[in-house]
Amino acid sequence: EAIRHSTKKEKMEQTFIMIKPDGVQRGLVGEIICRFEKKGFYLKGLKFITVDQSFAEKHYADLSAKPFFAGLVEYIISGPVVAMIWEGKGVVATGRTIIGATNPAASAPGTIRGDFAIDIGRNVIHGSDSVESARKEIALWFPEGPVNWQNSLHPWIYE
């Protein structure tokens, strides 16, 4: 007999995830997407683009006073990136857990940075740090908004 699913509405969140130029160059795109997909999060936006300096400066505006800012911008514009919107319950915080600590030396094995990175300035991936940052970053990278679709497996992922 088929499982009976509740009809309760989940509190869905969206986050902005970006595979940085080093992640693209190192062939980690499939692996990274796989981790978010297999977890049960829903892909709601995806684009493969190279951004320019003023766009990268806007994305990292909160860090403009940091000594590493110029190098960070140079890194982000050094090649194409994969920009994504992922959706799910708690996806902002869980996305950061999947990614691991900012400094790969402190990232646990099993996290993306823990498994695939060594230097803080080549840490492979970005993820929004709060629901509010996610909202701003999605608006910047996806002015057209998310792709509207429903995963038919939803009742097998949510109780």
Mask: binding to ligand UDP, 59-78, rule CB under 6 A, as x and -? Answer: ----x----x---x------
Task: For the CB of residue 8, give the shortest distance to ligand UDP in the complex, in Å.
Answer: 32
Q: In the complex, which residue's CB is closest to Mg ion?
A: 129
List the structure tokens of 159: 């109780």
Distance (Å, whole) CA 84 – CA 11: 20
Task: Annotate 24-69 with DSSP letters as a single string.
Answer: HHTT-HHHHHHHHHHHT-EEEEEEEE---HHHHHHHTGGGTTSTTH
Q: Is 113 annotated as a binding residue?
A: yes
Nearer to ligand UDP, 55 or 158 (CB): 55
- Per CB under 5 A, which of residues 115..154 are in contact with Mg ion? 129
5 catalytic, yes or no?
Answer: no
Q: Report the alpha-carbon angle 39-105-136, nearest 5.
A: 55
Query: Which CB sits closer to ligand UDP, 64 or 102?
Result: 102
